[in-house]
Amino acid sequence: ISKMLLTIVISFAALCCSGTNAEVFTSMTDMSKLLTTQEEMIRAVDNYILAQEEKIQRLKKELRTLEEAHDVANRAPERFLGNPINAYLLVKRLTVDWNDLKSVMTDETTGSSTLQNLTSMAQLLRWPDEEDLHGVAMGLMRLQDTYKLETSQMAKGLIFNIPAQRELTAAECFELGRQSYNSGDHYHTMLWMNEALNRQEIESNKTVLRGDILEYLAFSTYMQGNIRQALKLTDELLLERPNHQRALGNKLYYHEALQKQQEEQRGETADIDPETQAVDQGYSVTEDKGFLDEWQRERVAYERLCRGEGKVSEDMKKKLTCFYQFGPGKFLRIAPVKTEVMHIHPTIYIYYDVLYEKEMAVIKELAIPRFKRATVQNYKTGELETAQYRISKSAWLKDEDHLYVRNVNQRIEDISGLAVSTAEELQIANYGIGGHYEPHFDFARAEEKDAFKSLGTGNRIATFLFYMTDIEAGGATVFPHLNLALWPKAGAAAFWHNLLPGGEGDVLTRHAACPVLVGSKWVSNKWIHEAGQERRRPCQIDKNALENVGDHFRSD
């Protein structure tokens, strides 16, 4: 008999004996009453066993689900995790679902010891936390917006018709809505809570309570401006939970808000002053509104290019060429590089097969133990910090770390014709779920005077970007102001000058890394600085002089 069962029996016996006198043995009448006591004890033990059996059956069911998911993932881990729905389900299982399982297992001595064993292995195991779950959820929202994915299709596990392990349950849709709500994102809260509601209605085994969904959905609907629908949903919530205090208070508030809205529509409220409205929306009429319009235009162009909807103009196409580049490095005279000109003014090149499989494997292996969350430079303070507009992990490698790193750096110098002795170390980056880097400049602008002061090597004159994996969907490098998208191809590299020949920053090189939709994106890049380039790329008096395509390096 287990300790828990023994405890129940002893507790039951103590309960039965409390408040009574002993000496039962002195009367057969009293002895006969013990049979009733024994019957209740049997019923208590039987109920305990039933409860334990239900618990064991639940654990067995959860275990089968975990084993099935794990078996599928182990067949092709990279492909499995490359689907963001699978990645979300994995993180949710190891956070929300695991917490539920722990609460079941802690009732038993055996379960507690099992949990203690897992805790003792904390240094060997990686456990995601609430921040990871939130990050994955926000990554999915980013993918949904950028690639215009339908909520219902995502819930079915379909990303560009690439299926996930399984469809999402109502509870899993609810969790995505809850994470959006916690970010103040009521738009996505509505999308996912509505999907959760639809799925909850058809589930035979309910995974989430309808009232829980309605509570989030009603308030987010109000926050999105649909007061009448918010009121309707609140009424539905009160049918489920008549004494829900927050819902009762919200209902009164929504009634007042609806009445006020109707009065405004009838013209009973004075017109709002444009300046006041602008302040409420976070911008001034004369200045910041223009900035927001410009940001919005760039955002639309960025997302359109990420979806593959942008096309280079016909006039530009006529100027673009492919050729073998035989210089400027001497090695290229015997091993020319396949080159494609992707754009002119600014001139952007793609070089093919310039990174070898063995090199990519070793560089990845060297980078993984050094990975840290990628940072950006605060243009006001000059300090490095993490940001939501750059989601990836990165590491830096030096020449002395491996022969392959030294070879790659030399290859960059041979192809670009620029000195790499003053360049930054080779940066390796791996993008996570929905990983991206929103539109940015690689060079420091005039107001960022202290950006590279500590390096003492001037501004970033050029960027050399290697692609180290093929991507099934998403992950392009896009230039919103050029209507240009570069699609990752393992072993290829992109190259462009960030500064005009006169030394001014070329604003047309503003670029972005699109969110990775399906797959794992690895890149490495070299930021080349001005110092040491005096003879290799002399400054021109005309600050606005344009770069010429390197015709003298080609051979048709």
Each residue's pLDDT tens digit in the chain (556 positions)? 455 555 555 554 555 555 455 576 667 777 777 788 788 888 888 888 888 888 888 889 888 988 988 898 888 888 888 899 999 999 999 899 988 888 887 766 566 666 676 666 666 777 888 999 999 999 999 999 999 999 999 999 998 777 888 999 999 999 999 999 999 999 999 999 999 999 999 999 999 999 999 999 999 999 999 999 999 999 999 999 999 999 999 999 999 999 988 888 877 545 545 444 444 444 444 445 566 688 899 999 999 999 999 888 888 889 999 999 999 999 999 999 999 999 999 999 999 999 999 999 999 999 999 999 887 766 666 667 777 777 889 999 999 999 999 999 999 999 999 999 999 999 999 998 889 999 999 999 988 878 888 899 999 999 999 999 999 999 999 999 999 999 999 999 999 999 999 899 999 999 999 999 999 999 999 999 999 999 998 887 665 555 665 544 554 4
How many residues comprise the chain?
556
Task: Give dist(CA 29, CA 87) in Å, integer.
Answer: 68
Could you tell me which residues come within 8 angstroms of residue 174 by beta carbon, excluding any fewer than 6 positions away?
192, 193, 196, 208, 212, 213, 216
Could you tell me which residues come within 8 angstroms of residue 486 by beta carbon, excluding any fewer than 6 positions away?
342, 348, 350, 476, 477, 478, 494
Which DSSP state fits 553?
G
DSSP string, 180-227: HHHTT-HHHHHHHHHHHHHHHHH-SS-SS-HHHHHHHHHHHHHHTT-H
**What would the two tokens of residue 59 be?**
């654990």
**What would the two tokens of residue 257 be?**
């808000």
Cβ atoms 86, 75 nearer than 8 A: no
pLDDT value of residue 1: 46
Q: Which of 451, 288, 267, 468 has the alpha carbon at shortest distance from 362?
A: 468
Torsion from C-alpha of 278, 280, 283, 284, nearest 10 degrees: 40
- pTM (whole model) above 0.95: no
Which DSSP state fits 390?
B
Long-range CB contacts (within 8 A, 24+) of 228-232 = 228/258, 230/254, 231/255, 231/258
Instruction: Report helix, strand and coil shares of the chain as percent, to nearest 5.
Output: 50, 15, 35
Q: Nearest 5°: phi and psi at 329?
A: -65, 145
Q: In what order do the strands lie in the sheet with 348-352?
A: 372-373, 393-397, 426-430, 522-529, 460-467, 493-497, 348-352, 337-343, 322-325, 554-555
pLDDT value of residue 545: 59
Q: Output the CA torsion sign for 355, 358, 359, 363.
A: positive
Cβ atoms 518, 82 nearer than 8 A: yes
